[in-house]
Amino acid sequence: MTTDEAASTVGPLPFDTTKAHQARMYDYLLGGTDNYAADRAAAEEALKVYPEWAFTARANRAFLGRVVRYLAGEAGIRQFLDIGTGIPTAGNLHQVAQEIAPETRVVYVDYDPVVLAHARALLTSNAAGATEYIDADLRDTGTILDQAANLLDFTKPVAVTLIALLHAIPDSDNPHAIVARLMDVVPSGSYLALSHLGPEFLTPDALKETQAMAGRNVQQQITWRSREQVARFFEGTDLVEPGLVRVEEWRPAPGTCETEGSPLWCAVGRKR
Ligand SMILES: C[S@@+](CC[C@H](N)C(=O)[O-])C[C@H]1O[C@@H](n2cnc3c(N)ncnc32)[C@H](O)[C@@H]1O
């Protein structure tokens, strides 16, 4: 049954499905089925302006996998706070981390009701570790940190992962202060990993058209941030190699040779 069919059997949904949502457009671009007609139409319109969106979604998800393998492996992290989790798909964060370290604990956070409806798929931890789901907005850091403390020990290193999320937070909500608040709570040796849309990668015309399209069709206001603005999220951390790069350039699997490019900056920083 498609998401549209399921919706028609349960009656009106408690949220607007007539305007595209970032989580469901991303799901569509990744080949998922947890999306509505408005999400698919907006994604198709976006692809006409910038055909690399499908590659971008896949490259971002692959970056998430490589980062988590790095953090659970080389960096020895056993606790993750993953905000802006997205609709569960293959290779959810806890599955990747627990393959390396079964005792890993993961707290997931998202504010989309569709993600909440599928949260069961995120609560499938093995017995040695644990996962939890918090239905909250990133901007409500107090609630997130209070509830996350039920599972995470904030005296030990935590990886805070904000993958393809912060461009949904406008400057008026001060995303840099939000990230600083989260990183203040975790001890030295913790990590911050994120990816973020960067305007440098699109021609001025494509950027203008993409922004106009998003303004018309997408619920979230999307804010593209320059390399310098993205770098500022990492104040108080040391970036691990290769630093601030496009998602497909961050420690690519040996033998990878991409012919497309994403418009997503990314980096991983270790708190001093
Ligand atoms: C593009 S998806 C990325 C999913 C996943 N992090 C990944 O990279 O594969 C962005 C997610 O962030 C969530 N999101 C956007 N703004 C948010 C906010 N203010 N608070 C919590 N979640 C938010 C959306 O609902 C969506 O699920």
pTM above 0.85, yes or no: yes
For residue 255, report the distance from its CA to the centre of ligand 1, in Å: 30
State which ligand 1 atom lies nearest to the alpha carbon of 161: 6
Across all residues in the chain, what is the average pLDDT? 93
Instruction: Tell which phi-psi region holds residue 86, choosing left (phi > 0), alpha (psi between -120 and 50) or beta.
Output: left
Give nearest CA residue, ligand 1 atom 13.
Answer: 84
Q: What tokens does 23 get? A: 């989580």
- Strand 105-110 vs strand 79-83: parallel, antiparallel, or unpaired? parallel
Give per-residue pLDDT as tens, 51-110: 999 999 999 999 999 999 999 999 999 999 999 999 998 889 999 999 999 999 999 999
For residue 82, report the distance from its CA to the centre of ligand 1, in Å: 10
State which ligand 1 atom lies nearest to the alpha carbon of 168: 16
Give per-residue pLDDT as tens, 127-167: 999 999 999 999 999 999 999 999 999 999 999 999 999 99
What CA–CA distances, in Å, run from 68 to 33, 47, 93, 256, 260?
25, 28, 7, 18, 23
Give per-residue pLDDT as tens, 228-263: 999 999 999 999 999 999 999 999 998 888 888 999
